[in-house]
């Protein structure tokens, strides 16, 4: 089976490629910087793609069994200026449009397109459970996810199964949110952000990758898909368990106003808001989580 991955140079993409290669899938990685990608991922075939070279994209995608699109400007790397917000949106829309346009012109179309999205689609949901049937929320991230998903779903017009990967907070000690939390805890100044009452829709990196592969191989999973552990916790509980495993206290609340001053607009949707996201479709499809509970997940990652 041949899989093409766009935007696979991040910590999720690297782990996904490792899993594919272990199961003898043929993998092609699309990258703006092929030489850099080859240095980081030495065992995979890499092709140049700048999200605009349409003819080259058609040649690479033609005959692939599955396409996984993970491209997009990081939402947390820079302050949300007007220009940065435009980059966050356009990087996702343009790459997805290019992939769908290429699929339209291909003779041998892929069976499935798995397109990244995020829990931000739902906006802030303080209490109620969030499943794939929950309507979209409000705010910039909701707008980005909704626009992104609309573009991906256009591939259905050409007979391609489309899955929208609404990913929560992926835990891995080498990247993402967990890595940012580790330093203050190791210096005994760790603790929750804001009130700590916001829901924290986490998922272990291994389960994120396993669920993507499971979904790719399961023809019955279509449309939005929540990628989160089945046992969500609030920020307070996440920090308490992280401190327990690191043998550190979890006492230093970072007040909401300080985060808003430091980070601006991004503080609320990224750190102060939350969702009690339930992976209903994965559960109903029989997916088995390696780490359904947070404590076991953290012990595995930080052993």
Q: Are 166 and 121 in contact (CB under 8 A)?
A: yes
pLDDT tens readout for residues 65-100 = 999 999 999 999 899 999 999 999 999 999 999 999
pLDDT tens readout for residues 7-37 = 888 899 999 999 999 988 999 999 877 666 6
pLDDT tens readout for residues 178-208 = 999 999 999 999 999 999 999 999 999 999 9
φ/ψ of 186, rounded to 5, equals: -70, -20
If one compares 51 and 296, the residue with the highest pLDDT of the two is 296
pLDDT tens readout for residues 100-136 = 999 999 999 999 999 999 999 999 999 999 999 999 9
Mean pLDDT over 226-230 rounds to 98
Residues 6+ apart with CB under 8 A from 30: 4, 5, 6, 7, 8, 46, 47, 48, 49, 57, 60
Please give the radius of gyration of the chain, using alpha carbons only, rounded to the nearest integer. 19
pLDDT of the residue at 245: 96
Q: Among 41-50, 144-153, 172-181, where is mean pLDDT lowest?
A: 41-50
Q: Which CATH class is domain 2-171+202-229?
A: alpha beta
pLDDT of the residue at 39: 62
pLDDT of the residue at 36: 67
pLDDT tens readout for residues 237-260 = 999 999 999 999 999 999 998 999
Q: Are 301 and 173 in contact (CB under 8 A)?
A: yes
Nearest of 229, 265, 205 to residue 119 by alpha carbon: 229
Residue 39 CA, distance from chain mean position: 23
Check whether 298 has a pLDDT greater than 70. yes
Q: For the whole prediction, is pTM greater than 0.85?
A: yes
pLDDT of the residue at 9: 83
pLDDT tens readout for residues 253-296 = 999 989 998 899 999 999 999 999 999 999 999 999 999 999 99
pLDDT of the residue at 27: 94
Beta bridge partners of 67: 4, 113
Residues composing the chain: 303
Nearest of 175, 167, 169, 112 to residue 145 by alpha carbon: 167
Give the pLDDT band of residue 233 (cuts 50, 70, 90): very high
């Amino acid at each position: 089976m041949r899989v093409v991955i766009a935007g696979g140079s991040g910590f999720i993409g690297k782990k996904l490629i490792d899993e594919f290669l272990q199961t003898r899938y043929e993998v092609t990685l699309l990258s703006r910087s092929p030489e850099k990608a080859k240095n980081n991922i030495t065992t995979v075939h890499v092709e140049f793609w700048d999200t605009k070279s349409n003819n080259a994209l058609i040649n690479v995608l033609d005959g692939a069994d599955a396409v996984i699109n993970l491209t997009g400007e990081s939402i947390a790397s820079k302050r949300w200026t007007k220009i940065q917000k435009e980059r966050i949106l356009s990087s996702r829309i343009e790459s997805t449009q290019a992939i769908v346009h290429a699929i339209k012109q291909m003779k041998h179309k892929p069976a499935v397109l798995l397109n990244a999205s995020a829990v931000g689609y739902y906006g802030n949901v303080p209490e109620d459970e969030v499943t794939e049937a929950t309507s979209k929320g409000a705010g910039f991230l909701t707008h980005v996810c909704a626009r992104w998903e609309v573009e991906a779903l256009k591939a259905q017009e050409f007979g391609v199964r489309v899955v929208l990967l609404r990913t929560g907070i992926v835990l891995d000690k080498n990247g993402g949110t967990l890595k940012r939390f580790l330093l203050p805890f190791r210096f005994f100044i760790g603790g929750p952000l804001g009130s700590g009452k916001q829901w924290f829709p986490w998922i272990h990196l291994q389960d994120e990758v396993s669920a993507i592969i499971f979904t790719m191989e399961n023809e019955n999973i279509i449309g939005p898909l929540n990628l989160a552990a089945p046992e969500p916790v609030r920020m307070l509980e996440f920090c308490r368990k992280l401190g327990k495993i690191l043998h550190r206290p979890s006492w230093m609340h970072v007040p909401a106003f300080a985060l808003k001053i430091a980070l601006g607009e991004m503080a609320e949707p990224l750190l102060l808001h939350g969702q009690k996201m339930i992976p209903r479709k994965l559960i109903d499809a029989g997916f088995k989580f390696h780490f359904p509970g947070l404590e076991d997940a953290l012990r595995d990652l930080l052993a």
